[in-house]
Amino acid sequence: MCGKAKSNISPAKIAEIIKNVKDEIENENKYNADLNISEYSDKPLDIFDNITPGMFMYVAYINPETKNLEIEEMQWGFKGYGKGVGGIIFNARFESVVGSKTFQTLLNENRAILIINGYYENYKIDEKRTKDNYYITNKDELLILPVLYKYQNYGHKLFTILTKKASSCINSVHGRQPVILKKQNLTSWLNVCNYNKFDAIDLLIN
């Protein structure tokens, strides 16, 4: 996945999506999500298209102490690393995260979701990438991405997107793609109190 996305989705819409999944799960007696959802802003990001690493997007997570759903602007990319765009890890390979000591605590305690309309990949002509983009999305133009976040010294949080080997329909464009979280697994992924890192891994591979 390249580092460019579109997310014209307000915190209120994110909360609505999560609440609908929570209610559906509880109605089917599958799981009590143990989650408090309040009122959120209906204003999307000021800059919602062509979002690149270093910019901000709305990310949702559950506060483990209050059980409140928190939706706040986080900066895209973990800073302070030698590789990547400007020393930023903006995407993390799911296969590497599973076996990485660096990410184990985040996978256990700092799981969140990012809901985007879609993302962009460059055309490839004669093995060279052009400045033109494919826009990749689904029929609803809503992709739920599992992300990991961390705290930064100067206040706001940072997040990175989990990626995997591209599916057959994406592979001709790019060898990697974001992990897409199934709706029915959304609240379980967020629930760091009742679901540990091993449960989280199962949610992403099943």
**CATH number among 3.40.50.300, 2.60.40.10, 3.90.550.10, 3.90.1680.10, domain 5-205:** 3.90.1680.10
The confidence score (pLDDT) of residue 80 equals: 66
Give the SS3 label for residue 85: strand
Q: For the chain, how long is the longest CA-to-CA vector?
A: 53
The confidence score (pLDDT) of residue 59 equals: 97
The confidence score (pLDDT) of residue 58 equals: 97
Q: How far apart are CA 14 and CA 174, in angstroms?
A: 28
Kindly give the pairing relationship between strand 157-165 and strand 69-76: parallel
Give the SS3 label for residue 150: strand
What are residue 94's DSSP bridge partners?
Answer: none
The confidence score (pLDDT) of residue 161 equals: 96
The confidence score (pLDDT) of residue 131 equals: 66
The confidence score (pLDDT) of residue 37 equals: 77
Provide the token pair at 132.
């033109």
**Series of mean pLDDT values for 10-residue runs along the chain (206 residues):** 87 93 68 67 92 95 86 90 67 90 90 96 70 86 96 85 88 86 92 91 87
**Whose structure tokens read 């464009």?**
173
**Domain residue spans of the chain:** 5-205
The confidence score (pLDDT) of residue 201 equals: 92
The confidence score (pLDDT) of residue 87 equals: 72
Contact 42, 12 (CB under 8 A): yes
